[in-house]
Amino acid sequence: MEYYSNQISRLIEELSRLPGIGAKSAQRLAFHIIHMPKEQVEEFARTMVDARNNVRYCKECCTLTDDELCPICRNENRDHRTIMVVETPRDLAAYEKTGKYEGVYHVLHGAISPMLGIGPGDIRLKELMMRLEGDVDEVIIATNSTLEGETTAMYISKLIKPVGIKVSRIASGVPVGGDLEYIDEVTLLRALEGRTEL
């Protein structure tokens, strides 16, 4: 049975297609949008269309940007000889929030996953290898600690090591505030192997 008019139902349906938005959240968002001032809704819609039309891949690191180069790649104060490889632009943003990394990035836009039919040709590895023809000292692999992330890290490592560039992997282990009894064996082993001197 239909509760709402056609327009409201269509709006709820479109919003529910967004990742992480279920039927109730979509309904709540739809009613919020309907009650917003008309000018605000128009600006919101215009911003979405403009972003979709103008955002593209940075020609250097493949993150999302609306310029030819992203702000990080344009920054001459960054260490362009150190490249951190991440899976998504969100991962890049997470590292930038630390304020401690001074190198540049390369965004793969995914990870190798044979189960999902995602191979090396489906992520931005070719672009990474082209960057390594320049002046690069180290590649830091910062893919997720999942099966796909580990597979991708091993694949990248095997590609780069013969080139003679230093390849490192971010440490992983016990999270701050985590109880050891609830942490899996692989994470505990990594924490032990990646221990540092106090």
User: CA-CA distance, 197 to 87, in Å (whole number)?
Assistant: 30
Query: Strand, coil or helix: what is 165?
Result: coil
69-103 confidence digits (pLDDT tens): 999 999 999 999 999 999 999 999 989 988 889 99
The answer to whether residue 11 sits within a structural domain is yes
The answer to whether residue 68 sits within a structural domain is no
Domain that holds residue 31: 6-39
Q: 86 and 167 share a domain?
A: yes
Q: What is the mean pLDDT of residues 160-178?
A: 82
Q: Give residue 195's pLDDT.
A: 65
Q: Give residue 6's pLDDT.
A: 83
Please give the tally of structural domains in the chain: 2
Q: 91 and 142 share a domain?
A: yes
Q: 99 and 161 share a domain?
A: yes
The token pair at 188 is 């505990």
Q: 34 and 83 share a domain?
A: no
User: Is residue 59 over pLDDT 90?
Assistant: yes
The answer to whether residue 61 sits within a structural domain is no
For residue 25, what is the domain's CATH number? 1.10.8.420
User: CA-CA distance, 1 to 137, in Å (whole number)?
Assistant: 63
The token pair at 124 is 């931005």
The token pair at 115 is 């189960």
Q: 95 and 19 share a domain?
A: no
The answer to whether residue 190 sits within a structural domain is no
> Given the structure tokens 């672009």, which residue do they identify?
127
The answer to whether residue 18 sits within a structural domain is yes
Q: 165 and 96 share a domain?
A: yes
94-117 confidence digits (pLDDT tens): 899 888 899 999 999 999 998 889
The answer to whether residue 184 sits within a structural domain is no
User: CA-CA distance, 91 to 140, in Å (whole number)?
Assistant: 13
For residue 124, what is the domain's CATH number? 3.40.1360.10
User: Is residue 147 over pLDDT 90?
Assistant: no
The answer to whether residue 108 sits within a structural domain is yes
Q: 88 and 150 share a domain?
A: yes
> In the structure, what pLDDT confidence band is assigned to residue 1 with cuts at 50, 70 and 90?
very low
Contact 190, 169 (CB under 8 A): no
Tell me the torsion sign for CA atoms 73, 97, 17, 107.
positive
User: CA-CA distance, 156 to 95, in Å (whole number)?
Assistant: 20
Using alpha carbons, select from 103, 112, 116 the residue that is nearest to residue 144.
112
Strand ordering across the sheet containing 103-107: 103-107, 79-86, 138-141, 166-169
The answer to whether residue 56 sits within a structural domain is no
Give the CA-trace dihedral at 171, 172, 174, 177, to 10 degrees: 80
